[in-house]
Structure formats: structure tokens, C-alpha cells
Amino acid sequence: MSSARRYTLKLSCLDRVGIVASVSAFISSNKGWITEANYYADAHTQRFFMRQEILAESLLFDVEEFRSKFAPMAREFGMDWSISDSARKKRVVLMVSKQEHCLYDLLSRWHAQELNIEIPCVISNHETFRGVVEWHGIPFHHVPVSPENKEQAYAKVMELFEEAKGDVMVLARYMQILSPQMCERYPGQIINIHHSFLPSFVGSKPYHQAFDRGVKLIGATCHYVTAELDQGPIIEQDVIRIDHSDEPDDLVRYGKDIEKAVLARGLRYHLEDRIITHGKKTVVFR
């Protein structure tokens, strides 16, 4: 992907003739240079999805004026839409429990500048990774969670997320079920990595469930979090083949590699505004 500053427009609306022509004409009439364009028409729902990257320096105005000038067209077509500016790094709050692999992977990618993000803080229900997080110069917040204090704990997590001006919350193997209130407050802003190929083996110990069923493939699923456990819109998935000789510990070990890769890809799609949710599904323009 080019490092040049760009605006990313994404939208969905009921399908009809003239959407692409109207949007393209709006951009071109304002000297906009489209560097990437993606379209999808869902025949089942009669809904149209679009994503376009526009070279920021080519436009006659900035992103705020774009929003103002584009709004009348959006109303005409009944669009759900947004536009983002690559010059503004998204602020990613990481949440983790006692499994380190996804946290370490994302910190490494951030440190190597493979992810164009800011990490304003890491939140955990354990103290385990305070040292490594603070070594990276990132604030670490310990928010214990128990059956007795969940309401207060998640109120604190939401407070920290707001204070950090977070754009997205990533559950990097955060092994707690979030409150319904939290899920409803941040729709499409909480990303989870689940260690199975959903919808199979929801909940805890999915690798052990897979072992008991004698499956030949195990996988990982990156999805948005909803109040319904492990049922949110799926962003990305991958699998690896196993056989009868593999024990549960082997499945866990294999799965960690898949989890890291799937979470990183899913997060990147989100950061690059490549995902449009529609009901329980996503359209992902890779």
C-alpha cells in the first residue's frame, strides 16, 4: 500500500443504477484521483457496497469539507457511509489476560511500524504483562475482573477507553466475556480473536472440543464482538490441518500461530477501512 496520504470512502445502500457513476463524478469533478476502487452488489439483499481510496493531495478540499459536500448525495441514495484520513493514526487499545502470543505479535508489528497505529494503553485483568508493556513505553492498566465486580470492572474499562480516545479495542486473547452494555456501546469497535473456526466450538477450550470430535482441521476466527458470545460478524479466518496423532497440547501450539496471523490480518483490514458490516455478516475488500 502506498505511503501517500489518502482518504478512504466506504459506503453501502440499496442497489440501484447510477451509484458508481454519481460517486465517481463527484470525486472527479473535484479533481480527485482514485487510486483503488472496490464494489460488491449482494443479490440476496439487493444492497450495494463500495470502497474507494482517493489521493488526498489531488482533491480541492480537505476531509471535513468532503463530508459536507458529499452529504447531499449520500442522503439522495440513502447511504450509510464514512470517510477516513490516513494521516490520522487509529488509536488501538489492547486487552489481554494470561496468553502472551497475540499481545507480543501486535507489539512487535507496532514497534516495527508494520501497523500504522498508536497504542495509547494496554488493559489486563492480570498483572502478568505489565513489565513488557511498560518496557515499550505504553501505559498498562490492571483491572481485575471477578463474578462479583464485573459491572464495576467494565465501567472502568470503558472509562479508560474513553480517556485514551480509543478508536478500536482489540481482545488479544482477553479471556473474559464482556458485558452486554459494553458491546452495545461500541458496535464495530471491538475486535476479538477466537481460537477456533467459528461457528464451530464456541466458548472455552475450543481446541479440547476439537480434539474430542476428532476434527482434521483447526482454525482461528477474527470477529467483531457482540453481546452474543462468539457470534459477531466474522472478519477473517484461517485453518491448519491436523491428524489423529496430535494431542490437545499440539493443537494449542499449532493454533497460536494461526491466531496471531488471523488477528493481525483482521486488524489491518479494520485499520484500512476495508470492512463494511451488514447484519451478521461483513464485506471485506482485501
Q: Which residues are catalytic?
A: 230
The DSSP string of the chain is: ---S-EEEEEEEEE--TTHHHHHHHHHHHTT-EEEEEEEEEETTTTEEEEEEEEEGGGSSS-HHHHHHHHHHHHHHHT-EEEEEETTS-EEEEEEE-S--HHHHHHHHHHHTT-S-EE---EEESSSTTHHHHHHTT--EEE----TTTHHHHHHHHHHHHHHTT-SEEEESS--SPPPHHHHHHSTTSEEEEESS-TTSS-SS-HHHHHHHHT-SEEEEEEEE--SSTT-SPEEEEEEEE--TT--HHHHHHHHHHHHHHHHHHHHHHHHTT-EEEETTEEEE--
Nearest to 222 by CA among 78, 102, 66, 123: 102
C-alpha triplet 189, 190, 195: angle, nearest 5°: 150
